[in-house]
Structure 1
């Protein structure tokens, strides 16, 4: 088995991505606890990212950067699917009867912080855009 080094992530870019993801989660109506679990960050890191001032560079691991990417890509898919802000930002809190969601909202499913739940939510929402990329 090869021991390849993990890529190093640009700390300033990581901070920018984290701030964007936290802003999106806030607009979706996520609680602080949900946002912290979804992004797998500490309460203090999440609180710093919520502040309006510029966030300093931050060390994030591959899992955290991937979770940020899922949030940003879910938001991008929703922007393609929905024209109105009510659905763009409200969809994630709407009850969903798709078998995967089983009467829960996408935000509720992701809120447990399980990586598979975050990924599968991304996958299902991303598929809504069809071939519009």
Structure 2
């Protein structure tokens, strides 16, 4: 087996692990399939396939970046909150801080717009430093 094949297999395994983790996070956030489709920028058929065979998913660079932001949002929430109700419930809580304007973080990222996902991540990430 060539080193390129081994490297690609390792990358595919990492991608599948990230996808599985994100799908589990979405389940705990109580996301609908439609929300997941928009957040990850995938079709209904692709989402169905990803859920049943994440190791066979062929993810684009954009989708991998979206997965990365979701994993980082989750990591931040786990750092900031010690209780699972806030770790997993925060994304569904109306937020009156600037930018959110009473909307939930999940509602914003479920628009599917990459820039909004980035902004929500950036604002949640500031919670690590106590900026809220």
TM-score normalised per structure 2: 0.84
How far 1:69 moved relative to its partner?
A: 0.2
SS in 1 for 2:55: coil
| Alignment-derived partner of residue 49 in structure 1 | 50
How far 1:13 moved relative to its partner?
A: 1.8
| Alignment-derived partner of residue 40 in structure 1 | 41
Residues 35-88 of structure 1: CA distance to partner in whole angstroms, max 9, x if unpaired? 11111122223233334xx63332211110000000000000000000111101
- Whether 2:74 is the aligned partner of 1:75: answer yes
SS in 2 for 1:129: helix
How far 1:19 moved relative to its partner?
A: 1.4
In the TM superposition, structure 1's runs of 4+ consecutive aligned residues that sit over 4 Å from their partners are none
Number of residue pairs matched? 122
CA distance in 2, matches of 1:58, 1:44: 12
| Alignment-derived partner of residue 26 in structure 2 | 25
How far 1:23 moved relative to its partner?
A: 1.0
Query: Which ranges of structure 1 fall in alignment gaps of 5 or more residues?
Result: 1-7
Residues 84-129 of structure 1: CA distance to partner in whole angstroms, max 9, x if unpaired? 1110100000000012011100000000100001000000111101
Query: Which ranges of structure 2 fall in alignment gaps of 5 or more residues?
Result: 1-7
Q: Normalized per residue, which structure has more helix?
A: 2
TM-score normalised per structure 1: 0.84
**CA root-mean-square deviation:** 1.8
